[in-house]
Amino acid sequence: MSYLPARYKVSLFLLLWPVLLLSACSFRKVVINDPITPERITFIVRGQTSLHDVVAELGAPQQITHNTRYTLFRYTYLVNKSFTINFGSLLIFVAPVSIPLTIAGENARGDIFEVAFDRQGIVQDYTFRLHSPQAQFNPWPF
């Protein structure tokens, strides 16, 4: 490369730098279950909807709590988004050893929807126990 003029070296560096930078980046998204929105639960009517109707529409709950008076179904939705960049991998061309220099950001959100049934399996109450905004990628770690 010593035979290339300086302006070509700079141009080559400017072209390759974004590729090297992106190769050091990592985006990850983990989703557990489907989100339950208010539109998905319009079929539930207190005192009328049965346990079987809820399971047919929303699927099996993640947690069931049962005692002598009621049964509680808990549906959970979780999403975790993370961003990582390892500047050490960019130094592999100039440093004799790979030095890990990692910056990461992470954002997690979740929803919890609960349905309470009486002994006969009829809906008595339902609520969003936790309803958080959507998770977003956060490249800034602070």
Per the listing, tokens 């919890």 go with 112
3-59 residue pLDDT tens: 667 777 777 777 776 666 666 777 788 888 888 888 999 999 999 999 999 999 999
User: Could you give the 3-state DSSP secondary structure of residue 88?
Assistant: helix
Provide the pLDDT for residue 4: 67
Are 85 and 137 contacting, i.e. CB atoms less than 8 angstroms apart?
Answer: no
Provide the pLDDT for residue 9: 74
109, pLDDT greater than 80: yes
Question: Strand runs (DSSP E) across the chain, as ranges?
Answer: 25-32, 63-66, 71-86, 102-117, 123-131
| Band of pLDDT at residue 113, cut at 50, 70 and 90 | very high
Provide the pLDDT for residue 13: 72
75, pLDDT greater than 80: yes
